[in-house]
Structure 1
Amino acid sequence: MGGLVVVGVDGSESALVAVEEAAREARWRGASLRLVHAFIWARMKVPLGPPSYGPPEGGLRNMADRLAAEAVRRAAAAAPEVEVASVVVPGEPRTVLEAESQGAELVVVGSRGTGGFVGLLVGSTAVHLAAHGRCPVLVVREASRAAGPVLVGVDGSPASEAAVDFAFAEAALRGSGVLALHAWTSWRSSPSPAPRDPSMPGANSPGAAEPEEFLLAAALAGRRERYPGVPVEHRPVRGDTRKLLIEASAWARVLVVGARGRGGFTGLLLGSVSQAMLHHAHCPVAVVRAGGTGT
């Protein structure tokens, strides 16, 4: 086996869909799968065993074991060949899963768990991990489509570079293409980077003199050579980044974004675009931090 994919388990339907997605990710990567249930009750000094007046299978600890067992069944059904381990770890979900991310190549979570407030589109655990995870984090709102490209948002930032690398690797694993989308407005345009080599996408096209096309071409340079079997479409578009990415996500298998882009405020770990994608994208969203592609 290769690396490790970690998935958070809490008994919610969102988490079980994430388990199935994580099992497929582990299969594609030749990795093992670790199902993690954060058992907060152990830290709250409450009785964990079955009550004296109830059935022997009752109690919080038995409930946690049943949640983990159901997650194992869902993972086995989605990818029977994957090696699966299940653990119940004392602690709060955000803290436990952030620690688990240090040894993983990918962490997968559902968009909302059992502790979420009604009306929220994405839960605090997913947002926290997207900002603080030590590896790429895949937030699953619904199962990925069987067809369509891996969509990646490009803005030329270091996190965007890492997102592009992850997107190409993910497309190669899934046997799909990459749609690289760079959106800009008239008040926020990019300096014109010099092309890295004359064969890169867009370098010799009629519109290659445009700064935004140069930025997108530079961001994709070298990936075609590393992933020759991955079809690539590069799309520079004038307009609002969040709106255009959300619209394009309607036919994507997965959307990949950097944790923070060029327009973010210093000190913020998660930018407005990545936050918006977590809440509104129509497919699973992978958030990648600069310096840690996990591939």
Structure 2
Amino acid sequence: MSGLVVVGVDGSASGLAAVEVAAREAALRGAGLRVVHACVWPAMHVPMGPSPLGPPEGGLRNVVDRLMAEAVQRAAEAAPEVAVEQVVVTGESLTVLEAQSRGAELVVVGSRGMGGFVGLLVGSTAVHLTAHGQCPVLVVREQPVADGPIVLGVDGSAAGRKAVEFAFAEAALRKAPLVALHTWTDWNAPLPAPQDPSAPYANPPGALAEEEERLLSEALAGLQERHPDVVVEHRTVHGGAREELIEASRSAQLLVVGARGRGGFTGLLLGSVSQALLHHAHCPVAVVRGAGERD
């Protein structure tokens, strides 16, 4: 066993869907699977056993045992070859899963849990982990297209390099094609060097588009050689990152992005594009923090 995939469960349908995805991810990696449930009640000195006036199968401990048993069963059905361990930790889910991420290759969570408020598309646990997790975090949203590509959002930033590496590795594991999508607008594209220094804004037609295509090629440099079996489509689009990536996710089995992009503000751990994708993408979303973004 070469690694560990962690999945957080809380008894919700979203959490059980995450278990199935996590089990398959562990199988692809030859890794073990750790099913984690965070239980805050013991810290509040709430009795875990059944009430003397209630049925013997009642009580919080029995509830937790049942939800863990169901999660382990779902994992076994999805990937019977994977070794599964179950861990119940006293504490709040955000801090428990963040701590678990420190020794994991990947953490998988559902988009919404039992504590979600009606109207919220993504729960606070998912958003928190993508901003603070110490490994890539995969948030399970809608069911992916089984034979779809891996879609990678590329912005050309140094922090986004880890996301590029993760996407290539994931495409190789899944034997799936990779669509490397880079978007740009006239407002966020860097100006190429002018041909005539006396006319700093007089660039030939198409110069911005060519510069963005070059940026995409440079961002992917070296990865194709490391993963020669991955078929890669370079896609440079003049448009907004949120809209283009959400649209591309309709036919994808996984969407991969960095936590922060080229336009991110210092101090923000999760960029606006990443947050928008967590709320609106049509497939699971993996958010990968850069080497310089660790807490």
TM-score after normalising by structure 1: 0.92
Alpha-carbon offset, residue 141 of structure 1: 1.0
Deviation at 1:155, TM superposition (A): 0.6
- The code of the aligned residue for 1:145 comes to V
* Corresponding residue of 1:217: 217
Alignment of 1:194-209 (within 5 A): none
Residues 21 and 143 of structure 1 are in contact (CA less than 8 Å); yes or no, is this contact kept in structure 2? no
Which runs of structure 1 show a deviation greater than 2 angstroms over 4 or more consecutive aligned residues? 142-145, 190-193, 206-209
Report how far residue 21 of structure 1 moved.
Answer: 0.1
Q: Does the CA contact (< 8 Å) of 1:192 and 1:210 recur in 2? A: no
**Could you give the per-residue CA deviations for residues 230-289 of structure 1, whole angstroms, max 9, x where no partner exists?**
000011100011000000000011000000001111100000000000000000000000
8 Å contact from structure 2 (residues 50, 59) kept in 1: yes
Distance 2:233 2:116 in 1: 37
Partner of 2:258: 258
**CA positional deviation for 1:52:** 0.3
1:14 aligns with 2:14: yes
Deviation readout 1:183-229 (Å, 9 max, x if unpaired):
01101103669xxxxxxxxxxxx989811001000011111110010
- Aligned residues with identical type, % of pairs: 70
Give distance in 1, aligned partners of 2:165 and 2:191: 22
Q: 1:12 to 1:212 in 2, by over 3 A?
A: same
**Alignment root-mean-square deviation, CA:** 1.7
Deviation at 1:143, TM superposition (A): 3.2
Aligned residue pairs: how many?
A: 281
Match of 1:103 in 2: 103
Residue pair 1:208, 1:214 contacting (<8 A) in 2 also: no
Q: Could you list the runs of 5+ residues in structure 1 that have no partner in the other structure?
A: 194-205
Aligned-partner SS, 2:236 = strand
Q: Could you say what secondary structure the match of 2:120 adopts?
A: coil
Instruction: Measure, in 2, the Cα distance between the counterparts of 1:273 and 1:18.
Output: 22
Deviation per CA, 1:124-167, whole angstroms, max 9, x where unpaired?
Answer: 00000000000000000133321111001001112321111000
Match of 2:247 in 1: 247
Match runs of 1:134-153 below 5 Å:
134-153=134-153
Q: Partner of 1:203 in structure 2? A: none
Question: Aligned runs of 1:50-89 on 2, under 5 Å?
Answer: 50-89=50-89
- Partners in 2 of 1:290 and 1:273 — Cα distance? 15
- Does structure 2 retain, via aligned residues, the 8 Å contact 1:35–1:72? yes
Mapped to 2, the partners of 1:69 and 1:245 lie a distance apart of: 37
TM-score normalised per structure 2:
0.92
Letter aligned with residue 221 of structure 1: A
Cα distance between partner residues in 2 of 1:178 and 1:77: 28
